[in-house]
Structure 1
Amino acid sequence: MTRAAQTAADPRAITSIAERISGQKDRIHVSIGAVCNNNCVFCMEEDRDGRYENNSAMTTERIRWILEQNQGAEEVCFTSGEPTTRPELPDLVGMAKRMGYRRISVMTNGRRLMHLPYAALLAKAGMNRFYISIHGHTKKLHEGLTRTPESFEQTVAGMDSVAKLKRFGVELHTSTVLTDRNLPHMLDVYRFLREHGVDQVVFNVMQANGRADTYFEQIFPSYTETAAAFRSFLDTVGEAQPQAFLVDIPLCTTEAIPDFNRGYVERHAHYDISRRNTTVLKEQTATRAQQGGGRGLVLLTRQDLDEAERAKRDTCATCRYDGVCEGVWKNYLKRNGWDEFIPIPP
């Protein structure tokens, strides 16, 4: 998820996408959801056993240490799996608030939030931004992707609960992962979500890992198709400045999209337990583990994943976005190659 439009409140302050990416601040992710009550076809966390082991090990003591080490970060976000399955989430939110974190958020499918007293409990504890994942404007479309009966009604009810709390300073953002199935329905999805009080509608391009890699041929539209569909959506939505943002797509493919609506996945860091079998940092694990305060934790950053799983070619160095571009997922390149990535002159 992303805060795609840092200047949305003041259109006069809009800066270029490159400037926004360069000026982003750090945030910390805290992985606490050992399980998830959805079964999304595109989930990047395909290793459910590994996630269960890692997130179950995120005890209150470890989380307290993580929060203490990262005081001053712009945002702390409780994420991975389904964070609301952890009974102690309200207590963890309160802990973050007492430590002075000003933005406290959660990435969730929103289903448990359908119970307004629970959503209010989180808000009272200090949670002031909710990122809710919803992948269609109809039951058929959403549940065809989550593969979980009744998930649509519950997620929509969860959004409605959070919308009722907005008068207390709570923000409601959504994440819709784009697939071949919902790509043609962006306009309907956007209008549906805005009618339910969503402040920012983020359309996330899939990361070509996990199940998105397993089912790539069945669900993954090309970047060129995605950018064209989003541009068409902007042309037809009928708003001067739609609160809709296209995220995690190489910038060279989105030149036809206004900078205001071009989003990005923000820089963040999280901790894994050191014994987790991760594809990144194999050589650095020992050094990073020593920085874990003896708690068996290893710090991982967004850049670590990018360097391990994305690629650039020599001509990327001639592109105006080279300094802020993370590259292209290697699993995407295996299928589609480099032809659609044309460097943009400075």
Structure 2
Amino acid sequence: MLDQPAHTQSEAAEPSSEETVAQRISSRAARVHILTGAVCNNNCVFCMEEDREQRYVTNSQTTDETVTWILSQHEQFEEVCFTSGEPTTNPRLHHWVKMAKDAGARCISMMTNGRALSHEKFARRLMALGMNRFYISIHGHTKKLHEGLTRTPDCFEQTVGGLDMIASFKRYGIELHTSTVITRRNLPHMGEIYRFLRSHGVDQVVFNIMQANGRADTYFDLLFPTYLEIAAVAREFLAEQGKREDPINAVLVDIPLCTTEGMPDVNRGYVEAYVHYEHEDTHGLLSQEILGERTGGKAGELVQIRRSDLDESARHKRAECKTCKYDSVCEGVWGNYLRRRGWDEFVPIPAAGS
């Protein structure tokens, strides 16, 4: 039987119409990611984790002892999230969820393709053990569109079945979010995708802009619309959908704020601040001085990697960005994107009164 959670951090998850996007970014709290492995039963054409061999070495080192130590730190974070690879393929997932609940974590989540959640016994057990938020990846409103991007036959029905299964338990306080990675193929269908997902009980529809890493870098020219193209379609979708409902429970995430100026702030999102722990700094991101400050684990065997570490090494700003009202919260532009398309899209937005 599922317990009714007293609080699942939904206030933190839902954007407030009274806050600007800059205020939300500056006040965001971090969540901790627990890496569940490198195995995935989808084969998405845009997957960031193209280097499976290296990812396997890094992500597959998570053990019960690793999870125990990370959970001992959980009060630093607003959320404990199981991710990387496909968490449902890890046979220890249910055990780790129970460990998170027993440790006192109030928001326990998972990033998943949702296929395994179509099996009621599997889904019910996760929720009974404490998982109360699900981020399900779905990239189209039709079988052809979704499976053309995941390159996995017959996965669409399973993912939609997973959505419907979780939605049927929302009365117990379970939250259901989705993640749709925007590509040239699905961008024209943003409105249709949104309405399809909302009809299946999704609380918040997140449209994620690709990071130009992994396969998204390999197939960049085939897949990646310009930021201005994405923003133009999003504005059209929001204007049309605004005639049907208010508020619109959709957020456009990981796109430079200067390109979405004028869009309602409640629909302008950002990538969450997060940390995860590896057994070594496999990316070579940290200086020796910082590395010494980021060690953890029972015997000092873990290294804390923050999302900001990745941003600082892969994103860039130019001098003109200092004149933009978003400079203090802007994360910059992916270097792989700039190398192909340059700076012409990015025009600083003057602060009010300047």
The correspondence for 1:172, drawn from 173, 176, 180, is 176
Residue 243 of structure 1 is matched in structure 2 by: 249
Equivalent positions of 1:266-277 (< 5 A) are: 266-274=272-280, 277=282
Task: Show structure 2 runs of 5+ residues with no match.
Answer: 1-8
Pick closer, same or farther for the CA change 1:98–1:135 going to 2, 3 Å.
same
CA distance, structure 2, for counterparts of residue 269 and residue 239 of structure 1: 35
Are 1:79 and 1:108, in contact at CA under 8 Å, matched by a contact in 2? yes
Please state if 1:302 is matched with 2:307: yes
Q: Output the amino acid matched with 1:244.
A: A
CA distance, structure 2, for counterparts of residue 9 and residue 336 of structure 1: 31
Q: Output the amino acid matched with 1:15.
A: E
Residue 121 of structure 1 is matched in structure 2 by: 125
Are 1:105 and 1:130, in contact at CA under 8 Å, matched by a contact in 2? yes
* Aligned-partner SS, 2:217: helix
Residue 206 of structure 2 is matched in structure 1 by: 202
The correspondence for 1:259, drawn from 265, 283, 299, is 265
- What do the CA deviations read for 1:158-180 (whole angstroms, capped 9, x no partner)? 11110111111100000000000
Deviation of 1:294 (Å)? 2.2
- What do the CA deviations read for 1:274-294 (whole angstroms, capped 9, x no partner)? 1x6315226468525643442
* Aligned-partner SS, 1:45: coil
Residue 37 of structure 1 is matched in structure 2 by: 41
Deviation of 1:35 (Å)? 0.3
Are 1:54 and 1:272, in contact at CA under 8 Å, matched by a contact in 2? yes
Percent of matched pairs sharing the same residue:
60
Residue 5 of structure 2 is matched in structure 1 by: none
Deviation of 1:298 (Å)? 1.2
Are 2:74 and 2:105, in contact at CA under 8 Å, matched by a contact in 1? no
Pick closer, same or farther for the CA change 1:5–1:322 going to 2, 3 Å.
farther
CA distance, structure 2, for counterparts of residue 284 and residue 93 of structure 1: 34
Are 1:5 and 1:261, in contact at CA under 8 Å, matched by a contact in 2? no
The correspondence for 2:30, drawn from 26, 51, 60, is 26
Pick closer, same or farther for the CA change 1:141–1:256 going to 2, 3 Å.
same
Deviation of 1:55 (Å)? 2.0
* Aligned-partner SS, 1:224: helix
Pick closer, same or farther for the CA change 1:142–1:284 going to 2, 3 Å.
farther
Are 2:139 and 2:149, in contact at CA under 8 Å, matched by a contact in 1? yes
CA distance, structure 2, for counterparts of residue 255 and residue 319 of structure 1: 11
Pick closer, same or farther for the CA change 1:279–1:211 going to 2, 3 Å.
farther
Using the size of structure 2 for normalisation, the TM-score is 0.92
Moved more, 44-53 or 220-229: 44-53
Moved more, 199-208 or 92-101: 92-101
Please state if 1:314 is matched with 2:313: no
Are 2:34 and 2:81, in contact at CA under 8 Å, matched by a contact in 1? yes
CA distance, structure 1, for counterparts of residue 91 and residue 308 of structure 2: 31
Pick closer, same or farther for the CA change 1:335–1:162 going to 2, 3 Å.
same
Pick closer, same or farther for the CA change 1:5–1:325 going to 2, 3 Å.
farther
Please state if 1:340 is matched with 2:345: yes
CA distance, structure 1, for counterparts of residue 287 and residue 84 of structure 2: 21
Pick closer, same or farther for the CA change 1:10–1:248 going to 2, 3 Å.
closer
Runs of 4+ in 1 over 3 A off after TM superposition: 3-11, 282-286, 288-293
Are 2:194 and 2:250, in contact at CA under 8 Å, matched by a contact in 1? yes
Residue 106 of structure 2 is matched in structure 1 by: 102
* Aligned-partner SS, 1:71: helix
Please state if 1:46 is matched with 2:73: no
The correspondence for 1:86, drawn from 70, 86, 90, is 90
Residue 323 of structure 1 is matched in structure 2 by: 328
Are 1:26 and 1:73, in contact at CA under 8 Å, matched by a contact in 2? yes
Residue 223 of structure 1 is matched in structure 2 by: 227
Pick closer, same or farther for the CA change 1:10–1:327 going to 2, 3 Å.
closer
Using the size of structure 1 for normalisation, the TM-score is 0.94
Deviation of 1:77 (Å)? 0.3
Pick closer, same or farther for the CA change 1:284–1:227 going to 2, 3 Å.
farther
Pick closer, same or farther for the CA change 1:286–1:264 going to 2, 3 Å.
closer
